[in-house]
Amino acid sequence: MDRDERGRRAYKGLMGVRAEEAFDDVRRISSQMYETVLDGAFGGPLARAELSRRDREIASTAIVASLGGADRRLASHVRAALHQGVAPHELLALAEHISVYAGFPRALNALDVVHEVLQEAGVPDQPTLHRVKLADHETVVAQKGDHGPAVILSHSLGVDWRMWEPVMERLSQGRRVFAYDFRGHGAAAGAPRPFSMDDLSRDMGGVLDAFGVDRAHVVGLSMGGGIAQTFAVRSPERVESLALLATTDHPFASFEGRARSGEVDGMEAQIVPTLTRWFTAPALATNGWGVQYARELIRRFDPADWAAAWRAFKDVDVQGKLAALDAPTLVMVGEEDYSTTPEIMSGVAERIPGSTYRVLPETPHMQTLEKPDLVADALDRFLPADR
């Protein structure tokens, strides 16, 4: 393969379009410049594998944005970054990052270009973020949708509200959807410790109070499902419906061991056991956004918050207490969930008379990060909406 062919292949692999199309005007004006760009850059350093294509496009976007005055080229690199699997919110965060090193004029210009490309690509706007003061700490609540029934989403231990982002656009059609960081996580990291499931239940009520919501459709995954159940036991009059995803109604013996491991072994030691519980082997191998997001949050987690969360979950006490709940209930498990298995989740469903039990095919524990379309479809069918 000659350098010219290597350059064309590298360009197509990086940018997602053929170089002949992207540089048609350059080739007409100066075939020498076309060859210099293609052979010298894309056939040279940009063709090498020391940096992944994703990393190269993040770097290229940041560099071109920081230089300024090249909006057309910046837009092409933003498109390429999307092609390489960079998430829209990561591109927005990149613009914020640029403000620190290249100043706000460059960063705000980059933000405009990113927004234009995202609109061109049909990418929905990001959720609106609200800072909310609860009884003893502050958190962030992400909102999508401004009318219809209220839905509150409670995430898994170890991540934050963004776990729900892949399904929020779909769920917000005819609904007001609120996803928040519960204490010890995300914007609520470092909240007073220790804390209990009752504390977490009160926090959920506090989030609803902040938006003037008396009754909501409550959805929780994993520990978030434990919080949802605790809230339904403590405040059944506020629950319009209950959706329990990949969760449990009783603690596992392993919870204390995970708490102690975070304290003693540190957070790097939690990455492998946690991700292999959460994702399928193919997802770990392809290492898409969901896996990268979960890995990074675990790595950054405060061991004290990690331990406090596991110890709170260790005291979940809802088994058999939802039998009289007068609200539609969905219990949903992934077929390939080896943490809260179909056997465990079917038991949860059996202890809630009248509940609907559903198994998602080829789906692991972290349902929204690996199979968001299946989750969104199921919840969209279950939750009422104003159409």
How confident is the model at residue 23, as a pLDDT? 84
| Count of C-beta atoms within a 10 Å radius of residue 5 | 12
Under DSSP, is residue 380 helix (H, G, I), strand (E, B) or coil?
A: helix
**Residue 139, beta-bridge partner list:** 132
How confident is the model at residue 1, as a pLDDT? 61
Q: What whole-number percentage of the chain has pLDDT above 90?
A: 90
Domains of the chain by start residue, with CATH: 3-120 (1.20.1290.10), 128-382 (3.40.50.1820)
Q: What is the pLDDT of residues 117-145, one digit of tens each?
A: 999 999 999 999 999 999 999 999 999 99
- Which residue's structure tokens are 């204490």? 183
Distance between first and last Cα of the chain = 56
What tokens appear for 20 in the block?
A: 């002949």
| Cβ 217 vs Cβ 240: under 8 Å | yes
- The DSSP code for 156 is -
Cis peptide before 194 (omega within 30 of 0): yes
Q: What is the pLDDT of residues 45-97, one digit of tens each?
A: 998 999 999 999 999 999 999 999 999 999 999 999 999 999 999 999 999 99
Q: Where are the beta strands (DSSP E) in the chain?
A: 128-133, 138-144, 150-154, 176-180, 216-221, 239-245, 329-334, 356-360
Q: What is the mean pLDDT of residues 87-111?
A: 97
Q: List all residues 6 or more positions away from 238 whose beta carbon is below 8 Å from its beta carbon.
A: 205, 208, 214, 215, 216, 231
Of 281, 294, 282, 292, the closest CA to residue 85 belongs to 292
Backbone dihedral region for residue 341 (phi beyond 0: left; psi -120 to 50: alpha; all else: beta): beta
Q: What is the pLDDT of residues 223-275, one digit of tens each?
A: 999 999 999 999 999 999 999 999 999 999 999 999 999 999 999 999 999 99
- Which residue's structure tokens are 């994993």? 222
Q: What is the pLDDT of residues 20-40, one digit of tens each?
A: 888 888 888 998 998 888 888
How confident is the model at residue 20, as a pLDDT? 85
The vertex-205 CA angle with 199 and 208, nearest 5°, equals 145
| Cβ 151 vs Cβ 238: under 8 Å | no
Strand 176-180 relative to strand 138-144, pairing = antiparallel
Q: Which whole-number Å values give the CA distances from 222 to 186, 203, 364, 366, 387, in the listed order?
A: 16, 17, 12, 8, 30
